Chain A
Amino acid sequence: KQEVTQIPAALSVPEGENLVLNCSFTDSAIYNLQWFRQDPGKGLTSLLLIQSSQREQTSGRLNASLDKSSGRSTLYIAASQPGDSATYLCAVRRGRDDKIIFGKGTRLHILP
C-alpha cells in the first residue's frame, strides 16, 4: 500500500532564504507525482507535475525533483517571500487511472 510522508509538518524560514520541502513515498512504481499549494480555507493549487520518466520540473522560483529509486521528491523554493506562506502537499499516482495518494503536507511560514 502506497504511503506518502512529508516531514517536517511545519517549517518557519526567514524571508529571502532558499528552502527545500521533502516528500517520500513507499512504493517506487509511480505514474507521476504532483505538488500542490493550499492557502487557509482554500482549494489546492497545482504547482508542478512530474511524470515518472522525468527527473525534475521547474516553474519560476519553484523546482521539483523526483528520485523514484529512493522514493523521494523535493520541492525547492528560491528566494522565499511572505506570499509563499501556505501548506504544500505532494501526491503520487500509481497508474494512469488510479487515484492519487496525498501526504499530509508541510505548513510553511515565511518570516518577514
Chain B
Amino acid sequence: DGGITQSPKYLFRKEGQNVTLSCEQNLNHDAMYWYRQDPGQGLRLIYYSQIVNDFQKGDIAEGYSVSREKKESFPLTVTSAQKNPTAFYLCASKTGGNEQFFGPGTRLTVL
C-alpha cells in the first residue's frame, strides 16, 4: 500500500529541546517537501529536496534543519532556535507528472 507516512501524529516539546519529525514515502518519488500550517496563514514551505543528498531552503527555514540520505526518508528537525514551533507540520512528495501528495501530518505543541 503506497503512501506517505509521518510520525508521530502528536508531539510535545519542552522549551529548548530539539525534536525530529519523521517522513517516509514508498512511492519512489524524487522530490519531497516540508510545510508548516498555522490557522489563517495557509501552508508555508520550510524545506524541499529534489533528489537524494540535496535540499534547499523554503520560505521559512530558520530554526529548522533537514537531511535526505535516502530517497524514502526526509526527516525534519525543529531546533530550539525556532521561536514559535507550535504548528501542524505536513510532509509531501511529488510525482514525475508534478502532482503533489501529502502525508497525514504531525501536530507539534511546545509546553
Which residues in A have some Cβ–Cβ distance to B below 8 Å? 31-32, 34, 36, 41-46, 49, 89, 91, 93, 96-97, 99-100, 102-105
Contact = CB atoms under 8 A, between A and B. Distances in A.
Contact of A41 (B41, B43, B58, B105): B105
A108 B9 CA distance: 25
24 contacts: A31-B98, A32-B98, A34-B99, A34-B100, A41-B105, A42-B104, A42-B105, A43-B90, A43-B102, A43-B104, A44-B90, A44-B92, A45-B102, A46-B100, A46-B101, A46-B102, A96-B98, A97-B50, A99-B45, A99-B58, A103-B42, A104-B40, A104-B41, A104-B42
B18 to A, nearest CB: 24
A104 B41 CA distance: 7
Given A32-B98, A41-B105, A43-B102, 20 more contacts: A31-B98, A41-B88, A42-B104, A42-B105, A43-B4, A43-B90, A43-B103, A44-B90, A44-B92, A44-B102, A46-B101, A49-B99, A89-B42, A89-B43, A93-B98, A96-B98, A97-B50, A102-B43, A104-B40, A104-B41
Label chain B's interface by main secondary structure.
strand
Interface in B50-67: 50, 58
A105 B39 CA distance: 11
Leading 10 A-B pairs by shortest Cβ distance: A43-B102, A44-B102, A104-B42, A43-B104, A102-B43, A49-B99, A43-B105, A102-B42, A43-B103, A99-B45
B43 to A, nearest CB: 5
B48 interface: yes
B107 interface: yes
A49 B95 CA distance: 12
Contacts of A32: 98-99
A103 B99 CA distance: 16
Nearest to B41: A104
Contacts of B88: 41
Nearest to B92: A44
Interface string B2-25: 001010000000000000000000
